Amino acid sequence: MALSFVADSMLGRLARWLRALGYDTLYDASWEDGALVRIAHQEGRFLLTRDLALAQRAGAWAIVIESEALVEQLAQLRAILGVRAVAPFSRCLCCNAIVKPISPWAVRERVPTYVYATQSAFYICPNCGRVYWPGTHWERMRANIATWEAKGVLARSAEGSPSGGAEP
């Protein structure tokens, strides 16, 4: 079964990276404790939190994130759940929806001219409309993921597994 998460308001950066790795991760800084616990229980999501009281309310679904540092947070989740790059860049970093490929001409007016001229693959978030492309931003994130895999911060992706587009 695919792992999914809901992160508390202190863990926005971790939530973004979990999305980048391909995990279904809900995050909304305005959600209060009761809502977080309800979402975790109703949807079978692990509640990621740095708040012990909140973790107690969530019971078995809670994971208390020990560090404030992103790399240590990921390493903790790797140790507990084997977190890895399951489907990198398959989700919108902003809203968690699965992005879809879209023809360059369809996004021509919405991306910078030099990007349109130099990129051939574009993806759109069907929920918030954000457009993504494998440009410098994704490349930097991909380099981080590779470094973390090399250092054991993340588990290594399974051999031959699809690297994008697919649901974990």
Residues in touch with Zn ion (CB under 5 A): 92, 94-95, 97, 125, 127-128, 130
Nearer to Zn ion, 14 or 125 (CB): 125
Q: Name the strands in the sheet holding 46-49, side by side, starting at the edge strand that comes first in the sequence.
A: 24-27, 4-7, 46-49, 62-64
Q: For Zn ion, which is the closer residue by CB, 95 or 111?
A: 95
Which of 95, 155 has the CB closer to Zn ion? 95
Nearest to 105 by CA among 127, 126, 118, 120: 120
Shortest Å distance, C-beta 96 to Zn ion: 7
Distance CA 44, CA 3 (A): 9
For residue 8, the minimal CB distance to Zn ion (Å) is 20
Q: Toward Zn ion, which CB reaches closer, 70 or 97?
A: 97
DSSP assignment of 6-52: EE-GGGHHHHHHHHHHT-EEEE-TT--HHHHHHHHHHHT-EEEES-H
Minimum CB separation from Zn ion for residue 92, in Å? 3
Minimum Å gap between C-beta 164 and Zn ion is 16
